[in-house]
Amino acid sequence: MHCFPVYEFHDINAENFADIEGILKEYGGDKKWNLMIIPFNEGVQPSVLKAFSQQLLEWKMEGHSLYLHGYRHKADKILKRSLLGRLALSLTNCESEFAGLSKEDSKMLLTKALQEWQKLNAGEPQGFVPPAWYGSRMLFYLCKDLGFENYNSRFTLWNKSKGSRFSVPFSTAGLPRPAIPIVNLCEKIYLKIYKIFNFLPMMRIVKHPAEGSKCPH
């Protein structure tokens, strides 16, 4: 059985969506992406928000999937966090928005994220992915209770109908420059093997805006 990787593009928002559209076109129309959308739109001009909403609908019509990707993505430092949560903030430049939060604060952020999402008029999100993949079992169950069909962590893809599957993400976001060629080489090798053997962990090719338009295979 010929296996294909899952393609993900993270950190899409009202400020960068036009650039992302150009990058996706460079990748080619044959790839269907899971697009991780940051819904926070405070201060966004109405005309820009309208264009962003229209672009989201166009992506859906093209067969891409829209995922809710946090609230602001950037963590609110005022919220109380566990020791591990504070460590996660230091490791991710405060990008791990949900790391180490209580159930109450996690639910509060999820509610705000869904409220912002509704303003985009893009239908229901296909799933939820915590920023920087720093979630928790508690956050997973909160998302299930809210009716999300999918939930992605760093090494797991969960679907309401299919359950959980272990995955291997390939991403160069935040890595030191010397490490990037190594990750890219590993990605190419794993992709060749993955296309042959369907028992391997699901491959995910993950891109971020800062990585530019280097096309995956």
Helix boundaries (H) for the chain = 17-27, 46-61, 83-91, 103-118, 137-145, 180-194
Q: Is 1 domain-assigned? A: no
> Of 99, 127, 103, which Cα lies nearest the Cα of 35?
127
**pLDDT over 90 at 18, yes or no:** yes
Q: Is 216 domain-assigned? A: no
| Residue 180 structural domain | 6-211
The pLDDT > 70 percentage for the chain reads: 96
Q: Is 142 domain-assigned? A: yes
pLDDT band at 197 (very low <50, low <70, confident <90, very high): confident
The pLDDT > 90 percentage for the chain reads: 83
Tokens 């790839």: give the residue: 31
pLDDT of amino acid 217: 44
CA 216 to chain centre: 17
b/e map of 132-152 (b: 16 or more CB within 10 Å)?
A: bbbbbeebbebbeeeebbbbb
pLDDT of amino acid 175: 86
Side chain identity, residue 85: G
pLDDT of amino acid 211: 67
Q: Is 182 domain-assigned? A: yes
pLDDT band at 210 (very low <50, low <70, confident <90, very high): confident
Q: Is 18 domain-assigned? A: yes
Q: Is 163 domain-assigned? A: yes
Cα–Cα distance between 201 and 205 in angstroms, integer? 13
Q: How many domains does the chain have?
A: 1
CATH number at residue 124: 3.20.20.370
pLDDT digits (tens, 9 = 90+) for 118-157: 999 999 999 999 999 999 999 999 999 999 999 999 999 9
